[in-house]
Amino acid sequence: MEVDVLLFGAAATREKSDRVTVVVGAEPTVQDVLRALHAQHPDLRFALPPVETGRLAVNQSFVRGGHPIREGDEVALITLVGGG
Amino acid sequence: MEVDVLLFGAAATREKSDRVTVVVGAEPTVQDVLRALHAQHPDLRFALPPVETGRLAVNQSFVRGGHPIREGDEVALITLVGGG
Amino acid sequence: MPSLHPVVIARVVDGSLMPKVERAALLGEGWNPASDVSRPCAPGVVGAVLRFEGIVRRGERSEAHGGDERELLALDYQTYDPMAECELRALARQIAEEHALSSLTALHSRGRVAVGEVSFVLIVKSPHRAEAIAAMSAFIDRLKQDVPIWKKPVWK
Amino acid sequence: MPSLHPVVIARVVDGSLMPKVERAALLGEGWNPASDVSRPCAPGVVGAVLRFEGIVRRGERSEAHGGDERELLALDYQTYDPMAECELRALARQIAEEHALSSLTALHSRGRVAVGEVSFVLIVKSPHRAEAIAAMSAFIDRLKQDVPIWKKPVWK
């Protein structure tokens, strides 16, 4: 299955794009997508959290670990924010 | 020599007066006045600083230790302030 | 007697916040004062009001220039909507309850904010000073971790 | 680029401070803006504005009543003049320089301030947030040690 991951800030600047695609197995979890980002987009490692404890935004909520990613979910990498 | 010491706040409330008088020797220092306050006005001990390190306001400036008190100086006990 | 249900307002607003803070940001854009301020504090409960304004500075370190300070015209704040406002509001409620505040108001800019203009406002009211300061520090620290807002420099 | 000669205003003012803060306390009573604000900050230097207001609360512990909270009408602030304003000003200058602030304004009431009214205002401006928060906390801690102001409760 392919998952599009939205990028922002320094991650988007590095990739020169507002998203990247990763290839994962069937019934992937947040950890699977993070592992795939580390392996398939090494340029993003400066912005990637650890696979075991890191989080993604799925449908605009933070989730971690074994949370499932389903077809059609909106998946985003939210790191290095800079508000305030 | 007699020294008038101005009181404020809880110290004035306790003494029911805005000043007390202490009797000290010739050429007194801040420590001498503090020592005399401890001895001659035990009701004020709750508000009195230690003799060695404590301060008084003399002519509206904080001074300590061996600072001399002269005839006509304005001497005040400034403790337990509560601004802000 | 701290309020157990503090009044909380948290908004993401287009552009510079001042002088909107006092007018449009709180009163305009569909915000209904009656719903948000339904439980006004009893007079005499609040002992401390703390207000923080973040202002865009002229100098910002540029990673593309070896970390030297370069001169800015503005910052462009990118927000992931509507998550940014949802997280801002969730953070506001959590901090207000954890610190037993009487109220918390947080406003953050979206889009371009020029040098010298205000991009973030936090107003905290509480019975005592200590909780207000602790709440403000905690809010800003968590904002920088959890609220999806990014800033992009617009160099001179 | 922190200002080495921060703008400092420190005043003791009769009665409640609000809405005087924005008007009379700063502009009236002989205070000359030209002399105090002779070195305005360059735009874009200040990144953080922090404003604290202390408000008289309705409940205050009464020592004469075993430490229970009793209801207040007002606080009477007694100041040892002119030492109170001199110490307030000295403290303001010291904190502003120690923390490399751009400016510091401190106002404290003298006399009666009713419940719900403002008796103390501190406004700190600095390049970054951390110094502003540190300066505010340091100022208030030192105020309570060194500035000869006492409060006397006026019970209901």
The answer to whether D51 contacts C51, with C-beta atoms less than 8 Å apart, is yes
CA distance A36 to chain C (A): 22
Q: Does D66 touch chain C (CB under 8 A)?
A: no
For residue D55, what pLDDT is reported?
A: 93
The token pair at B67 is 């600072």
Quick: pLDDT tens for D74-96. 999 999 999 999 999 999 999 99
Highest averaged pLDDT of the listed ranges C15-29, C38-52, C123-137, D34-48: C123-137
Q: Which residue has the higher pLDDT, C42 or A4?
A: A4
Contact C126, C135 (CB under 8 A): yes
Separation CA D114–CA B38 (nearest Å): 36
Domain residue limits, chain C:
7-155
Do D and C touch, 3+ Cβ pairs within 8 Å? The answer is yes
Quick: pLDDT tens for C104-154. 989 899 999 999 999 999 999 999 999 999 999 999 999 999 999 999 999
For residue C34, what pLDDT is reported?
A: 41
Do B and A touch, 3+ Cβ pairs within 8 Å? The answer is no
What does pTM read for this prediction? 0.86
Q: Spell out which chain C residues touch chain A, with contact meaning CB-CB distance below 8 angstroms.
A: 54, 77-78, 80, 82-84, 86, 108, 120, 140, 143-152
The answer to whether B82 contacts D120, with C-beta atoms less than 8 Å apart, is no
Q: In chain C, what percentage of residues exceed pLDDT 70?
A: 73
Mean pLDDT of C18-27: 48
Q: What is this model's ipTM?
A: 0.85
* Chain C residue at shortest CA distance from D128: C54
DSSP result, D49-89? EEEEEEE--SEEE-GGGTT-EEEEEEEEEEE-TTHHHHHHH
The answer to whether B84 contacts D78, with C-beta atoms less than 8 Å apart, is no
**Which one of D86, D108, D140 has the shortest CB-CB distance to B60?**
D86
Chain C environment of A10 (Cβ under 8 Å): 150
The DSSP output letter for D21 is: G
Q: In the complex, which subunits touch C with 3 or more CB pairs below 8 angstroms? A: A, D
Confidence of residue C7 (pLDDT cuts 50, 70, 90): confident
For chain B, strand residue ranges (E) read 2-6, 19-23, 55-58, 61-64, 75-76
CA distance D20 to chain C (A): 16
Report the phi/psi class of residue D4: left, alpha or beta, with left for phi > 0 and alpha for psi in -120 to 50. Answer: alpha
For residue C2, what pLDDT is reported?
A: 43
Quick: pLDDT tens for B18-68. 999 999 999 999 999 999 999 999 999 999 999 999 999 999 999 999 999
Residue C20 has pLDDT above 50, yes or no: yes
For residue D126, what pLDDT is reported?
A: 94
Residue D109 has pLDDT above 70, yes or no: yes
For residue D39, what pLDDT is reported?
A: 44
* Average predicted confidence (pLDDT) for chain C: 80
Residue D27 has pLDDT above 50, yes or no: no
Separation CA D48–CA D133 (nearest Å): 9
Mean pLDDT of C49-58: 93
Say how many Å lie between the first and final Cα of chain C, rounded.
51
CATH number for region C7-155: 3.90.1170.40
Chain A environment of C152 (Cβ under 8 Å): 9, 13
Averaged pLDDT, groups of 10, chain A, 84 residues long: 96 96 98 98 95 97 97 94 76
Length of chain A: 84
Residue C3 has pLDDT above 50, yes or no: no
The token pair at B45 is 């001990």
**Which one of C47, C50, C54 has the shortest CB-CB distance to D47?**
C54
Length of chain B: 84
DSSP element (H, E) containing D108: strand D103-114
Contacts of C54 (CB under 8 A, 6+ apart): A84, C118, C119, C120, C121, D47, D48, D129
Chain B environment of D84 (Cβ under 8 Å): 83
Contact C66, C105 (CB under 8 A): no
The token pair at A83 is 């508000």
CA distance C148 to chain A (A): 6
For residue C67, what pLDDT is reported?
A: 67
The answer to whether D44 contacts C127, with C-beta atoms less than 8 Å apart, is no
Sheet holding A2-6, edge to edge: A19-23, A2-6, A75-76, A55-58, A61-64
Separation CA D113–CA D110 (nearest Å): 8
